[in-house]
Structure 1
Amino acid sequence: MEWFEALALLLGSIVVLMAIGMPVALAFLAANIMGAWVFMGGAVGITQLLNNGFGSLTTFALVPIPLFLLMGEIFFHTGLGARMFNAIDRLLGRLPGRLSYVTVLGGTGFSTLSGSSMGSTALLGSLMVPEMTKRGYKKHMSIGPILGTGGLAIIIPPSALAVLLATLAQIDVGALLIAGVVPGLILAGFYIGTIWLQTRIDPDAAPAYDVDPMTLAARLGLFLRDVVPMVGLMIVIVIMMIGGIVTPSEAAAFGALGVLILALVFRCLTWEAIKRSVTGALKVTLMAYLIVFGSATFSQLLAFSGASRGLISWATGFELDPVMMLLVMFAVLLVLGMFMEQISIMLLTVPIFFPLAVQLGFDPVWFGLIMLLALEISFTTPPFGLLLFVMKGVAPKETTMRDIYLSAIPFILCSLCVVALLILFPSLALWLPGR
């Protein structure tokens, strides 16, 4: 069988199974079993493939996923996240567009820990949009920042999705997490600058309203009590990883322990919160582990059938400039993101794109960061980005898809600017990890 026939068989069976409604992880597992039967000698090949797949689940690099997820679940269910939102809101006072800033700052913290852009968008959309609408905010000031927080959350550590990508691509988890710090701060600056510019151009887009005055001592106390502990925990985790004091797995454990201690200190840790947090983290972890299993076996089948080697030889045979090839891969990710969920896209593209990126001479950590940004941008790309429809479902009834499209565009442009900066200056991502 020619390489393109093998590739069409493997990818085609996965697409068909997903199209008839089979869950992504199970679709990959079924297609892998079929591929092992065809390419690896029947029952013996299936046994070998399953053994290799189970071996991929025993890697230490997977440990941060459940711990980061547990950290985010506790942060949400104990009410620590709500405390931080409320504190930031009060501290910003009469600043024009302050609820938009609150959405970016507080929403990024929650999205980063939760690891789910769709869940975060649904939560923030149902929580913040009605409040901002009641305060007289125009739609682009309430919807845009919520759609934008996903792009920021996916690259600033701790990010469960970044850990999963690094595991699937078999690259250094800690390096990929640390690589997102500087680009993430730049993107945050772009977002804040966008909100400031929008309020300057149209002051009525986010009208100021009266708030209870606070003394400087009260502001300082609120900041130290309700903001510093939560934000400080994330900063400490990042610094510990950058300094090489802990591994990503140890940092995740410290993070989960830190959130538990904070919940105890603030007297908001209940058995009900613990039960909900563990249940939520367990559900997502099981899904992630099934996905890792499916991806590992899928990569092996692509290699064994010759599909990976053939595809790379075909792609590099065009003799395109490496940057042009990067843009082609970026465009593919954007198109796929209009129809598929991020993890599904990873499963399809990581086994193909990462070997090709290495062949083209790209640093795998740098390429991983580019891929993370592409996945998040694709989620808000009109007309079919999935987050756009999530937002439509939770926004006020009078909100049209045109309103959502126009709200997303400025924040998409911010993310594209960061991608352009990373292409022009790769050191922005590679300096902190020391690559």
Structure 2
Amino acid sequence: MMEWYSATALLIGGLVGLMFMGIPVAISFLIINMVGVVLLMGGFAGIEQLLVNASASVTTFTLVPVPLFLIMGELLFHSGLAIGVFNALDKCFGNIRGRLAYLTVGGGTIFATLSGSSMANTAMLGTSLMPDMIKRGYKPKLIMGPIIATGGLAMIIPPSSLAVLLGSLAKIDVGGLLMAGLIPGIILASLYVFMIWLMIRLDPEAAPGYATEKYPLREIIGGLMRDVLPMGLVVFAVIGLILLGWATPTESAACGTAAVLILATFYRRLSWDVIVKSMRGTVKVSAMMLIIILGSTTFSQLLAFSGASRGLISFATGFELSAYAMLLVMLVVLIVLGMFMDQLSIMMLTLPIFMPLIAFYHFDPIWFGVVMLLALELSLATPPFGLLLFVMMGVSPKGTTMSQIVQASAPFLLCSLFLILLLVLVPDLALWLPGLIRN
């Protein structure tokens, strides 16, 4: 039997090495699983067990909300319902200096509660608001920073597809985890608003003042009633049903998708082209997630079978660090990995080691899930390979450099770090709503 440290070097070292060579994540997991199974689980008999485990990992009922939330977000985007929300909100801001930056946070937060996808949120904000902000003379830091920051909110605010995956993989109550992200998500959006206000105070030219059309109150109220208020049906279907205890996350995801279909039909925005584009986007992302999960589940079992998980946990706890010192180490690991890997891969790699440590140090798993999601949201915008940095680059004008995007997002990353500190000091910010549901 291989020593635990040798197995760790083979499995984790080999996986990270393959990823650094540019091999796709799913293929990297498959290769290292095959090597590990042959060396650690008895050759072909182990391969047969690998296939059985792989099938079980992607047929679990708790994963059903993921494609449903993705369909919901895609339908909102392709039908134009999301753009209607922004247009209605835009009329409310009047001549406030930096109104488009504030609109980014306000509209992006609403869309985050409807889409569940950070990449979709960022892409929509960039394509819909960035051209007007450039035309109005906003500085890049006040254009790209709020867009990247608000785009990441979809990872925390329900319905977060990644929260569903995290709950499923870490055996955390999915409904509780979804609700736990609501209050921290609203606080984070408020911190972004404060950061925009502070940046404008320090540099008024970052958001030049200009005259805008003054809309009559009747038109403002009409726009809100027509384009924003009906979205409450979707929010209620997704969040309200879980809060009231009337639906599981899977049922609420189905209800949310049905609500979007009803609204799109009512507004005559539902066409065959919209359905095809939405399904195509959903299938691409869902297939990628399921293939990675398929490989990573066997990877976790290999870590446990070889003794690598037990050895790593004994090694980590042997330093006799305090609970919060260990939490800091875990957060640093998540942020560093986020510089080079996607969020799903990070979860697959770290959860087999982190969750036993969470139990050892008696942290609440739902609370830790929210903190982990915040760290992963932070890593979306960390160079050199933060996913949202590349999404932003894709929707930015020609000539925009990665350095400009990183500098623009830096002040907003401080908001996420501050919120993590706040959650450490006041855990009930994340635990109050799940407790309310349980009671």
Output the TM-score relative to the length of structure 2.
Answer: 0.94
Partner of 1:291: 292
2:188–2:416 CA contact under 8 A, matched in 1: yes
The equivalent of 1:39 in structure 2 is 40
Match of 1:52 in 2: 53
1:125–1:394 CA contact under 8 A, matched in 2? yes
Give the C-alpha shift of residue 115 in structure 1. Answer: 4.4
One-letter amino acid of the structure 1 residue matched with residue 190 of structure 2 = G
**Is 1:315 aligned with 2:316?**
yes
Q: Which residue number corresponds to residue 283 of structure 2?
A: 282
Partner Cα distance (1:393, 1:266) in 2: 30
Shift in Å, 1:343: 1.3
Contact 1:171 1:364 in 2 (8 A): yes
Aligned partners of 1:14, 1:264: CA distance in 2, in Å? 46
Structure 2 counterpart of 1:372: 373
Residues of 2 paired with 1:200 and 1:235: CA distance? Answer: 37
Partner-residue secondary structure (3-state), 2:434: coil
Structure 2 CA distance for aligned equivalents of residues 387 and 184 of structure 1 = 18
Partner amino acid, structure 2, of 1:168: L
How many residue pairs get matched?
435
Secondary structure, counterpart of 1:21 in structure 2: coil
User: 1:232: Cα distance to partner?
Assistant: 4.5
Aligned to 2:108: 107
Deviates more, 1:71-80 or 1:295-304: 295-304
CA distance 1:52–1:413, change in 2 (3 Å): same
What CA deviation, in whole Å up to 9, does each residue of 1:250-302 have, x standing for no partner?
00000000000000011010001011111111111111111222222111111
Matches within 5 A, 1:169-184: 169-184=170-185
Give the AA of the match of 2:342: E
User: Quick one: which amino acid aligns to residue 204 of structure 1?
Assistant: E
**1:216 offset after TM fit, Å?**
1.4
Residue 119 to residue 227, structure 1, CA distance change in 2 (3 Å)? closer
Deviation digits for residues 37-91 of structure 1, max 9, x if unmatched?
A: 2111111111112212211222211110010000001001111111112221122
Unaligned runs of 5+ in 1: none
How far the C-alpha of 1:192 sits from its partner, in A, is: 1.1
Whole-Å separation in 1 of the counterparts to 2:229 and 2:203: 33
Q: Which residue of 2 aligns with 1:223?
A: 224
Residue 149 of structure 1 is matched in structure 2 by 150
**Percent identity among equivalent residues?**
58
Which residue of structure 2 aligns with residue 70 of structure 1? 71
Counterparts of 1:30-429 in structure 2, within 5 Å, are 30-111=31-112, 113-382=114-383, 385-429=386-430
Summarize deviations over 1:124-172 as a string: whole Å, max 9, x none: 3344223211101112111110111133221100011111111121211
State whether residues 339 and 386 of structure 1, in contact with CA within 8 Å, keep that contact through their aligned partners in structure 2: no
Deviation at 1:182? 0.9
2:151 and 2:219 map into 1 onto residues whose CA distance is 32
Amino acid at match of 1:221: G
Q: What is the Cα deviation at residue 342 of structure 1?
A: 1.1
Distance in 2 (alpha carbons) for counterparts of 1:109 and 1:345: 27
- CA pair 113-326 structure 1, distance change in 2 beyond 3 A: same
Given that 2:378 and 2:416 are in contact with CA atoms closer than 8 Å, whether structure 1 keeps it comes out as yes
User: Could you tell me which residue of structure 2 aligns to residue 433 of structure 1?
Assistant: 434
Task: Answer with 231-240 or 182-191: which moved more.
Answer: 231-240
Which whole-Å CA distance do the structure 2 matches of 1:125 and 1:47 have between them?
47
Deviations 1:189-224 (A, max 9, x none): 111111122223333321233332222121111001
Shift, 1:402, TM fit? 4.3
The 3 A distance-change label for structure 1 pair 106 and 294 is same
Task: State the Cα deviation string for residues 20-52 of structure 1 (Å, max 9, x = none).
Answer: 433212221221122122111111111112212
1:22-33 matched pairs, under 5 angstroms: 22-33=23-34
TM-score (norm 1): 0.95
Q: CA deviation at 1:366?
A: 1.0
132-141 or 84-93: bigger deviation: 84-93
RMSD of aligned Cα (Å): 1.9
Do the aligned partners of 1:150 and 1:376 also contact (CA within 8 Å) in 2? no
Alpha-carbon distance between aligned partners in 1 of 2:49 and 2:403, rounded to the nearest angstrom:
51
Contact 1:72 1:113 in 2 (8 A): yes
Once the two structures are TM-superposed, the CA of residue 401 in structure 1 deviates from its matched residue by 4.2
Q: Give the aligned residue type for 2:234.
A: L
